[in-house]
Chains A and B, each alone.
Chain A
């Protein structure tokens, strides 16, 4: 048995390539822009965004902010449960800072 040779099959599955997408265009400047603050329901998330909002407004006093509070941990739950509401929120924004709080 010591010298037995085993020809073995791969346990690693195939996965189809998914359509790729690049990053959204960047902003030249945040002054006067409307920045979304996307907050999941982990407890650090709102604290992170409140600090970020304060720093943002210190640096860009004319920037506006708008919060969206997810009721779950994951963005996929937004896509599943509140897509219309979430998409409406995104429409008015120039950029989003998301806080996962994890």
Chain B
């Protein structure tokens, strides 16, 4: 309903049915369609009401700039009850806090970075700053948040990804000098809790998904299982210890550029390779990719894994090519599972036939369905981030006084007491 309304059709005829998401049980589908078919006929033939012919315009949404005054607890309860949070407490976005957040960009507060689907909410720099304060961001994260919104805007299906039954979660990869400037974690536990940048950049972009894109759980977001990555899922690439050029160079940016990349994996699987040499690593990858997976694929290597491959003569491109070529559905795979051969898989790959022996089919819409990210500490575990459309990368534009800004905030780091 929200999708139709946001496209100018606030009144639609809905015939509820009981077919479960992604059902393949023909008898269930037959029964459910039969049960509601008279309703479908009625929806096509019953004369329109006046409101259906000519819907009444809704009152324009006008949220006062100052929305509430109260204690920390009151503010949190008010925001939570409005559906504006992710369930965790938020920092109250006071005028002072928002003004400080706005020091992270030279763009004016009323500049509209994008209007994001499905609600087409205007993402002004100030609204971004408000959500960034709520998430606990530091002002130095603003350039990445703005570039992140550009990634969301440039991806034609990001609205659909946020709302899908498949529970796709944004994953954000940070590249370039900004990662060190803001202490975005690239090493041990890069995607685990404990670092403000990784914790709050994804969180802020998640709040923005609710409060500007208008994607709320079980209203617009119909993710069936859900995804913990929707709280935050951010890593910086471990450029310092990678034997290869950073990912943003693969995407056409310069090494000195700072950039953020968005992809929408459904899952993050970690595994121990069959062996830690190049043969063991690559065999694990192509041997573990299964047809039930969907969409884009990112192989996450630790610097250890990447160095092992590089020492054996593998470039990053050669690794990607190897995976595309050798990730295949083994002959007899479906028969062994008691299914007919040629079962359709990976409908997310719109470029391919949706079936066939190859797991990946490069095409015009996704010429490189396999990517390689290098982050994490020194160890052999490796990861698969899988799902969604091809990644989108955007450059972060830094404000003129970046050096001073970084000096003000970069020492905000945890100092763990040893025991």
Most buried by B among A9, A13, A73: A13
Q: Does the CB pair B94–A102 fall under 8 Å?
A: no
How far is B59's CA from A14's CA once the two chains are assembled, in angstroms? 12
B347 and A43 contacting across the interface, CB-CB below 8 Å: yes
Interface size of A as a range? 35 or more
Decide if A91 is an interface residue (CB 8 Å cutoff): no
Number of interface residues of B (CB under 8 A): 79
Q: Is the CB of A2 within 8 A of B71?
A: yes
A15 touches B120 (CB 8 A): yes
- Taking the closest CB of chain B, its distance from the CB of A12, in whole angstroms, is 5
Q: Does A42 contact B (CB under 8 A)?
A: yes
Closest residue on chain B to residue A95 by CB atoms:
B44
Which residues 41-88 in A have Cβ within 8 Å of B in the complex? 41-44, 47-48, 51-52, 55-56, 59, 71-74, 76-77, 80
Residue B66 at the chain A interface, CB threshold 8 Å: yes
How far does the alpha carbon of A5 sit from the alpha carbon of B65 in the complex, in Å?
17
Residues of B within 8 A of A28 (CB): 45
Whether A11 contacts B84 by the Cβ 8 Å rule is yes
Tell me whether A47 and B75 are in contact (CB under 8 A): no
Contact call A55/B33, Cβ cutoff below 8 A: yes
A residues 14-52 near B (Cβ < 8 Å) are 14-23, 25-30, 41-44, 47-48, 51-52
With the chains together, A69 CA to B7 CA distance in Å?
22
* Contact indicator A8/B66 (Cβ below 8 Å): yes
Is B57 in contact with chain A by the CB < 8 A criterion?
yes
Nearest CB of chain B from residue A52's CB, rounded to whole Å = 6
**Within 8 Å of chain A (Cβ to Cβ): is B392?**
no
> Which B residues touch A1, using CB under 8 A?
72
Q: Is the CB of A27 within 8 A of B45?
A: yes
Question: Which candidate, B20-28, B176-184, B310-318, is the interface stretch facing chain A?
Answer: B20-28
Can you give 25 contacting A-B residue pairs, CB < 8 Å?
Answer: A3-B71, A6-B75, A7-B66, A7-B68, A7-B94, A8-B79, A9-B93, A10-B64, A11-B130, A12-B121, A13-B211, A18-B8, A20-B10, A23-B48, A23-B52, A27-B45, A41-B347, A47-B24, A51-B30, A56-B37, A73-B164, A74-B160, A76-B156, A80-B156, A102-B21
Q: Which residues of B contact A (CB under 8 A)?
A: 6-13, 19, 21-24, 26, 29-30, 33-34, 37, 40-41, 44-48, 52-55, 57-58, 60-72, 75, 79, 82, 84, 92-95, 98, 115, 119-124, 126-127, 130-131, 134, 156-157, 160, 164-165, 207, 211-212, 214, 344, 347, 350, 354
Extra inter-chain contacts (4) besides given A15-B6, A77-B350, CB under 8 Å: A5-B71, A8-B67, A18-B6, A73-B160
